[in-house]
Amino acid sequence: MRNLVGAGKHPLAEQLRAAAAGAGLSERAQETATWLGSPFRVYAHDTSAFRIRVAKEVAALNASRGRRSADPVPLDDRARIRTQVAAQLFREEHGRAPSDARELAATIAKHSRPRTNAVAGYDLTFSPVKSVSTLWAIADRPTAAAIERAHEAAVRDALTFLESTALFTREGADGVRQVETRGLVAAAFTHRDSRAGDPNLHTHVVLANKVQGPDGLWRSLDGKTVYAAAVTVSELYDTLLADEVARRLPVAFSRRDRGSRRNPAFELDGIGDDVLALFSARAEQIHCAELEWAATFEATHGRAPSRIETTRARQHLTRTTRPPKVIRPLRELCAEWANRARALTGVEPVDLAARALAGTYGRGLHAHDVGPEVRAATVAQIVAEVSTKRAVWTTWNLGAAALRASKPLRMATPEDRVRLLNDLTGQAAAGCVHLDDTRDPDRRRVGESLFTSTDLLAAEKTLIGAATTDAHLPRRFGDMRGASVRVRVALDTLTDDQRTAAEAILTSPHLLGALVGPAGSGKTTTLAAVAVTWRSACGPVLGLAPSAPAAHTLQRSLGVGCETTAKWLHESVGPGARARAATYARAVETEATSSDVFEIQKARAVQARVRTEQDRWRLAPGQLVIIDEASLADTRTLAEIVAQARAADARVLLVGDHLQRGSVDAGGGFAMLARRGPTAELTSLWRFRHPWEARASLDLRRAHPAVLDTYDAHGAITGGGRSEMHAAALAAWTDARAHGHTAVLAAADNRTVRELNNAARTPGILAGTVSRDVVELHDGLVAGVGDRIVTRHNHRHLRTPDGFVRNGALWDVVAIGPDGSLSIRPAETDAEPDGADGGLVRLPAEYVTEHVELGYATTTTRAQGITVDQTHTIAAPGMAREDLYVGMSRGRDLNHTYVITEPDTDDCLPGQTGPALSALEVLREILATSHTELSATETWDTYHPSVPPPIPPMRPRESLGMSALHAAPPSLAAPPSLAAPPRYDAPVIERSWP
């Protein structure tokens, strides 16, 4: 594998070279005999001056100590040398000394990385769910051996599926044509514990980036197809593993709830959550030790540690925080795991294992045993899953959903599992609308076909039609004989572009309008003027937003009632409306059948009360519905509210920025309207104190790579290792708050936010402002008195001075109850400047464990829509440009990004790391990556420019009277079983799969 993956040569290169030499071939011919196609390019002179100087200094130090030049030196000595060399290089480049630790750390990161690397292979990791690894760790050896064999079989069969469905190369001009290969070449490495010392049976598989085409020539692997298939292959491994384990052992699997905001886990019955948590605790122990080490390192050397230094320290801390005799055989590791389980539960490990082995050896199903009713229900579940989360999906998306939906079914053989997968995927595809059926199959990668559903196309059609259809309003802005003083004042306070946008909104005749503006352009100010004017001239105003904090902020800005879109739909046409409809129907029946005058009067009173309650959730004629942060709302929600407005002779205004983050569900509707136009648009920026940053933010919004040089020139970019950047961002955020600034510490992913939150509470503990008595939170971290937390679930029965406990609201912990409850008060933030004066709220212990997290750091999703003094955002490979733009546009005075320039070590083989990039290189990749979803209609139009989308006729909408409460509208109820057009009756057949 060193030849194959390391150099792109034949695995037996030495033997081939020897044979060629024995045949008298030239030196060049001998080298050519070892090649598999073109060898990997080797970039000469790639060692930086920094690394050369460090090596010389290390050699000199060893010579002074009488040691060999290549001998390793202590970590502290190496850190001191790297610091001195980096400072010298910085002075040579800039003519001055580094001004702070961040400049020094950035220099080390810049000069440490290799400049150019060839892609040698792809690393796939197959890991059982935690309960399987736990059972393997504590069970007797025969049981553990059976689990290992199940794991090996699942890996082998998953690779067989990958080889037969996703392993291709490309040929023709510019690799235009995808062709099959003669198989894969890979090496597998099985490991049995995690880096933290917990049981973690897993296998790394390295796919060589060399495959043989049908013509016998060796070429590179088509990595895009492998990447697209990765989730499906992962889901297949999980399902095959469950089949294999159940075939060998008397066990049962079931879905285990992990809270309202996480997907259920598919775990073994009988292995408790407490035991699973036990074998995840070592990671937290090492992380805390690493934080203490990093703080000591920075105090000693005046800079944060680099990636290499952190990696070595982590290895050292892993050893020193373990019990003695670190490197031990598997039986000793198992003995330690057994002791830990025994200490936690007081039960012998063999008895713990017996709880999981209390099932039966069930007979697995063959594919033909799965009947049509089960298949139909599973296919409906598949389509519902993908269409809820995406507006457009691929065959691979359908395959992954098919495996998740069929996971509870135990299949007899791997062949039956794959056959069922292919059947379900094909049936699901046949029930979808094929968007790109006009594409040349030879130019389309396997699994790349694009699909959507008729109800999504219908929802988008509702939005498009409303944007060009006149609203039937009782009164219009143009009917005003003379503007009131209040209206004139409201409009006169606007800037030119804001007033132009406001007047365009107020005078537009259309049912649906849109206001688009970049971050800091004054959308809220414009909306406030529009709301005042509309209420004076046309009718009432209602505010809606996708999240509770956004709705609360909108209510404070507009001075009108505001709700979340989810709450509005729940009460207007969802479960709340259906419950009132049932109550109303019972009251009507009682009135019609009862002879008791008191019962009749009571029934009439109930009818009147229910009508009054329901009227609160009905739109009124002439009402303006403002939906803020509309890019975060899914398309079906927007279409339903527009349909309600049409029926009520009301009007809808969507507000947001389609170049910021989109909906987590099937979205793209607002962006589609913004691209189609016409829309009211704001162009001037008012948030940023520095003019250069205002101009730069517009270029960043449009993803112009040259703007990165502007940010770099103004010191807004810092690059380095993961721990180093976390520490730098946390230090800057802490310093900003200490000086009285409002600041946000943000990252795009929940994992990074959790790590930042865990680190952020440490200074408070050391300073004595955060107590050491704690309760456990939903995210697995802990909180004590003085900690900042965030509530992650709307609870309307927990009342606060300004309403209720909202999802996304920040709080400070005041006291901890003996039952684990928390007494909290609203945190003082820029959005809530008087938060600290709010009343105390008690969160029940159950709510704390299910819906509370630390709130020091936040995701860019939750940060969207807020304004603060400073933002400090972690950027990393894989991030999207929408997240970067949100993170770099929240702050008035300062917006700084801390770029992780190292690969994620969790994605690398043990002992190996990929090449580090410069901060600007990472940011350029981020700007080239968009998570914005293209609507189904736009995708259809791309491939069918002159053909309308195949949308079946929709039934007429019922009135919004009480009769409408008996059933949800089509867009919210289960999708009706609509016959697809003739061209979609047959399953969509991809080349090779499904």
Tens-digit pLDDT profile for residues 338-397: 888 898 888 898 999 999 998 888 789 999 999 999 999 999 999 999 999 999 999 999
From CA 893, how far away is CA 868, in angstroms rounded? 8
pLDDT computed for residue 326 by the predictor: 47
Could you tell me if residue 321 is inside a domain?
A: no
Question: Are 334 and 244 within one domain?
Answer: yes
Which structure tokens are listed for 725?
A: 């950047």
pLDDT computed for residue 907 by the predictor: 41
Question: Are 871 and 771 within one domain?
Answer: yes
- Kindly report whether the peptide bond that precedes residue 994 is cis, defined as omega within 30 degrees of 0: yes
pLDDT computed for residue 983 by the predictor: 30
Could you tell me if residue 105 is inside a domain?
A: no
Q: Are 251 and 359 in contact (CB under 8 A)?
A: yes
From CA 577, how far away is CA 560, in angstroms rounded? 23
Is pLDDT at 90 greater than 70 in this prediction?
yes
Question: Are 503 and 609 within one domain?
Answer: no
Query: At 325, is the pLDDT very low, low, confident or very high (cuts 50, 70, 90)?
Result: very low
Question: Are 265 and 129 within one domain?
Answer: yes
State the average pLDDT over residues 186-193.
88
The total of other beta-carbon atoms located within 10 Å of residue 580's CB is 19
Q: Are 393 and 451 in contact (CB under 8 A)?
A: yes
Could you tell me if residue 496 is inside a domain?
A: yes
Could you tell me if residue 993 is inside a domain?
A: no
Question: Are 514 and 386 within one domain?
Answer: no
Q: What is the DSSP-derived secondary structure letter of residue 85?
A: H
**Number of domains present in the structure of the chain:** 6
Beta strand spans in 903-984 (E): none
Angle at 95 between CA 94 and CA 100, to 5 degrees: 65
pLDDT computed for residue 657 by the predictor: 93
pLDDT in tens, 117-135: 667 788 899 999 999 999 9
From CA 177, how far away is CA 222, in angstroms rounded? 11
Last residue of a domain, one of 652, 681, 710: 681
From CA 24, how far away is CA 684, in angstroms rounded? 76
Which structure tokens are listed for 317?
A: 């801390």
Could you tell me if residue 582 is inside a domain?
A: yes
Question: Are 370 and 347 within one domain?
Answer: no
Could you tell me if residue 311 is inside a domain?
A: no
Which structure tokens are listed for 922?
A: 């990472």
Residues 6+ apart with CB under 8 A from 18: none
Region of poorest pLDDT, from 6-20, 195-209, 442-456: 6-20
Question: Are 394 and 482 within one domain?
Answer: no
Cβ neighbourhood burial of 265 (10 Å; 0-12, 13-18, 19+): middle
Could you tell me if residue 659 is inside a domain?
A: yes
Which residues, in sequence order, are bridge partners of residue 124? 205
Contacts 24+ apart (CB under 8 A), 674-677: 674/514, 674/516, 675/938, 676/464, 676/467
Strand order in the sheet with 562-564: 562-564, 541-545, 624-627, 651-656, 512-516, 680-681
From CA 50, how far away is CA 106, in angstroms rounded? 13
From CA 27, how far away is CA 296, in angstroms rounded? 55
Question: Are 811 and 858 within one domain?
Answer: yes
Is pLDDT at 793 greater than 80 in this prediction?
yes
pLDDT computed for residue 668 by the predictor: 93
Residues 6+ apart with CB under 8 A from 137: 144, 199, 279, 333, 334, 337, 338
* Structural domain span for residue 214: 121-279+330-356
Residues 6+ apart with CB under 8 A from 6: 40, 120
From CA 760, how far away is CA 745, in angstroms rounded? 10
Query: At 978, is the pLDDT very low, low, confident or very high (cuts 50, 70, 90)?
Result: very low
> What are phi and psi for residue 867, nearest 5 degrees?
-130, 130
Question: Are 416 and 527 within one domain?
Answer: no
pLDDT in tens, 206-264: 988 888 888 888 888 888 889 899 999 999 999 999 999 999 999 999 988 765 555 67
From CA 263, how far away is CA 265, in angstroms rounded? 6
Question: Are 673 and 743 within one domain?
Answer: no
Residue 470 belongs to a domain with what CATH number? 3.40.50.300
Question: Are 337 and 391 within one domain?
Answer: no
Last residue of a domain, one of 897, 927, 957: 927
Could you tell me if residue 239 is inside a domain?
A: yes
Question: Are 129 and 248 within one domain?
Answer: yes
pLDDT in tens, 895-952: 999 999 876 544 444 344 445 578 898 999 999 998 888 899 999 999 999 899 988 7
pLDDT computed for residue 220 by the predictor: 84
Last residue of a domain, one of 927, 954, 970: 927
Residue type present at position 534: W
